[in-house]
Chains A and B, each alone.
Chain A
Amino acid sequence: MSSNDAIIKLNVNGSDRTVEADPASALLDVLRNQLGLTGTRYGCGANQCGACNVLIEGQAVAACDTPLWAAAGKSIVTVEGLGTPERPHPLQRAFIAEQAGQCGYCLSGILISAAALLKRNPNPSEVEVRAALDRNLCRCGAHNRIVRAVLRAAKEAL
């Protein structure tokens, strides 16, 4: 524990967690290295690719440039908290059904952005889905499958 460390309480995927860390450290680092939640991916460290998106109070934000103090006391949901193979989130079910991905590295962040979208707009148009995912990069070219999967999830959840 370094001199800057503090005890910070978080609510991650529905569980209260306490971490000892520098309040200025990136939420992403704490999620991956202290809480073992490696589903949230590091992509750029500059909030330019969306690979590390998590939900904070229902909003999709980049965990790489969110300081820990800004997440303190708030409800955080990572991809692991969306669902499990036994109880998948409608989005996860739809992504598998549509085979929406190639390498899959971008998918955690995209699922989070899509979850935030469906929460505020349960029945989005294709244009709205694309707009909601526009800050998430995908390099393999799985975009259209991903959009189809989000639309399918919306339809099946209605």
Chain B
Amino acid sequence: MTGALPANLKANPRLARWLRFDAAGFIELRPGKVEIGQGILTALAQIAADELDVDLARIRMIPVTTAASPNEGTTSGSLSVEQSGSAVRHASAQARAIYLAAAARRLGIAADTLTVEDGTIVGPGNLRTSYWELADDALLQCDAIFGVVPKPPSARRVAGTPAARLDIPDKVFGRPRFVHDVVLPDLLHGRVIKPAGPGAKLTALEEGPVRARPGIIALVRHGSFAGIVADTEAAAEAGVEALRKAATWSGEPMLPDEGNLAQWLKGEPAETTIVEDRKARTGEPGQRTVRRQYSRPFIAHAAMAPSCAIAQWSGPDRLHIWSHCQGAYGLRADTALALGIPAENIVVEHVEGAGCYGHNGADDVAFDAVLLARAAEVGGRPVRVQWSRADELAWAPMGAAMAIELEADLAASGDIVDWRSQVWSNGHVSRPGRMPIPTLLSASLLAKPFERLIAFNPPMAMGGGAERNSVPLYDFPTMRVTCHRLLTMPIRTSALRTLGAFANIFAIESFMDELAAERGEDPLAFRLRYLKDERARGVLQAAAKRAGWNEWKKREGVGHGIAFGRYKNFGAYCAVVAEVEGSAEIRVRRLVVAVDVGEVVNPDGVANQMEGGAIQATSWTLKEAVRFDRQRITSDAWETYPILHFSEVPAVEVEILNRPEERSLGAGEAAHPPTAAAIGNAVFDALGVRVRNLPITRERIIAAMA
């Protein structure tokens, strides 16, 4: 019976796939989630250490490989602690029970008389053995069963306390840790060129001079895909420059008007769904309607490192890939689809990359490496491909631009009696491994190209995509929320941290602020009147208290704002108070973040995620927009895609409301949405100007003043 096992353990029940005890005194833990800078390895190690009664230092985290790791899908959606954490907890509890049973047999006493202290198993009368003495891989060659209960939260000693990140020392001492640093025997270096724009086709390529360059081993062209392989990285860099010059592209301008994204979004063909339709109970009729429109631009992942991967073929149809992807099994599936070989012939091994905030170029560059490594001249040697900074900023999938129209019917009192909203956006997901066509960028460039998948939205049961958080958590008597997913996709979009929640919460929480201002009511009090959920009220009140909301003294050129969101409406609760100063040039001075993630596994990990989320969201809110003309993305350097600098970063204070008896909820995306709205509301408080179109730049503020 496996009825109540965590879903990921039920799907991957063999315990040996999760854990291995080593006679040398350590335990290998092999979760199916990957480190992308969020600290998940440490949190999962804490959970295992607790259940197994060993020191954290005894847990060794093994990176994901499709050759051995459980398939836990994609590391995304702030679900890793929730999903993998519970699977690891149960698997560890079962492994402990199995080892205790083995100890009991060896010692000739009952298992329930045994305790474990850092792996040493102790029984009455000083009887003792240990995991390390008993270590035997055969013991875990069995499936997880229902019935072994993990420890109650009150018995946990490691989880719930701050743990130092396991990966930080390597990164501070500059030791090889990233896929970029992997050195394999006979490693070759590849580079690819990207088209002149999303609609461009490679019409001519003068191959001769490129092939004749020193160090060039292969030139690979398939349709509009082209790249070179060289014996050194320097030769590859020089070679790709030559290749770029040797290419002729044709293509119609097909990108929308950057200056009027909302109008473009609303004019494209779309699939319309009703997200929420809450019927009116009898109540006060509306006397007047307030209508506002908000928007956000396309936003780039803008990872610190250009995407990078290594691929190596052995024979005509066996392939090994080293990648910093979020989903090794998804990359494997799409690579198999694109090449027409069985997925079982491919091993994808995860190696860390730079911080990852969603579906970036990791999978795409892996497929580029696969195509280059297949060249006959390469002869089965491994090929490392690294994108350029320009390609990283222009060709990784983007977070979708969104327009949101909100309408509220107000009673004579100013109370909200009906709420209507419409969202226009591209879909927010085109991840690999989920569709019958591969979504890898270069698969759409081949001579026989695969159709480019139009991004879709995950179902609302998973939090939705464009419609994520489009339904306010406030208790309005009637409500209708509609989502229009575009059926065209001139700019490729996919998952970027929070999906639609960032813009939807920005819109809802800005609108709530506007409605409170219309009534002349304090924005915090106004929100609390519509909010029954105690945990929601809890974070708002905690943030307000810590920030000194009620003691605020109005001063010239300084403002404060508050906002709230519960991520996906079923994830972590978060409220933010922002303090800003400035006239047209806005500086965020301070952000106070209160969060409720249920039971906290690593308090410092949660704090780090909240700080990072709030700072990244400040960057999105004040500075970021993908720039383009009708032909191509033009924001392809840090100068043209500026992000927040050290001198611009606000002070961030985090208040964690620990609720040990509540289920753990992911922290990675909770801070972004309310941060944006709190900043917008603070700008209004400071300047009396409402900026509804992100980013809140000097130009937008001046435009809003007019």
A104 to B613, CA, bound (A): 16
**B60 CB-CB contact with A under 8 Å:** no
Classify the secondary structure of A's interface with B: loop
Known: A22-B234, A133-B646, A144-B652. A99 touches B165 (CB 8 A): yes
Residue of B nearest to A135 (CB): B645
**A118 CB-CB contact with B under 8 Å:** no
Separation in Å of the A3 CB from the closest CB of chain B? Answer: 8
Return chain A residues, CB-CB under 8 Å to B652: 144
A145 to B610, CA, bound (A): 12
**A14 CB-CB contact with B under 8 Å:** no
Separation in Å of the A44 CB from the closest CB of chain B? Answer: 4
A92 to B63, CA, bound (A): 25
Separation in Å of the B324 CB from the closest CB of chain A? Answer: 10
Contact partner of B646 (CB less than 8 A), chosen from A37, A82, A136, is A136
Contact partner of B389 (CB less than 8 A), chosen from A33, A44, A80, A105, is A44
A141→B616 contact, CB < 8 A: yes
A104→B168 contact, CB < 8 A: yes
A43→B389 contact, CB < 8 A: yes
Residues of A72-125 whose CB lies within 8 A of B: 78-80, 82-85, 88, 92, 95-96, 99, 101-108, 111
Residue of A nearest to B165 (CB): A99
A46→B37 contact, CB < 8 A: no
Separation in Å of the B430 CB from the closest CB of chain A? Answer: 22
A44→B37 contact, CB < 8 A: no
Return chain A residues, CB-CB under 8 Å to B353: 103, 105
A48 to B306, CA, bound (A): 13
Return chain A residues, CB-CB under 8 Å to B612: 102, 140-142
A103 to B354, CA, bound (A): 6
A146 to B232, CA, bound (A): 35
How many chain-A residues does the 8 Å CB contact rule pick out? 61
Return chain A residues, CB-CB under 8 Å to B619: 141
Residues of B22-55 whose CB lies within 8 A of A: 36-39
Residues of A8-63 whose CB lies within 8 A of B: 21-22, 25-26, 29, 32-33, 36-46, 48-49, 51
**B279 CB-CB contact with A under 8 Å:** no
Return chain A residues, CB-CB under 8 Å to B306: 42-43
A46 to B389, CA, bound (A): 9
B639→A105 contact, CB < 8 A: no
**B180 CB-CB contact with A under 8 Å:** yes
Q: Mark B67-105, 1 if CB is under 8 A from A, else 0.
A: 000000000000000000000000000000000000000
Contact partner of A104 (CB less than 8 A), chosen from B167, B176, B389, B644, is B167
Separation in Å of the A76 CB from the closest CB of chain B? Answer: 14
Contact partner of A134 (CB less than 8 A), chosen from B174, B178, B647, is B647
Separation in Å of the B668 CB from the closest CB of chain A? Answer: 10
Separation in Å of the A139 CB from the closest CB of chain B? Answer: 5
Q: A142-B611, A143-B615 are in contact. List 11 more A-B contacts (CB 8 A).
A: A29-B233, A44-B637, A99-B164, A103-B353, A103-B355, A105-B178, A105-B305, A130-B646, A141-B614, A144-B651, A145-B608
Chain B interface (Cβ < 8 Å from any Cβ of A): 36-39, 164-165, 167-178, 180-181, 183, 214-215, 232-234, 237, 302-306, 352-357, 386, 388-389, 604, 608, 611-616, 619, 637-639, 643-647, 649, 651-652
**Closest 3 interchain pairs by CB?**
A39-B174, A104-B171, A103-B37
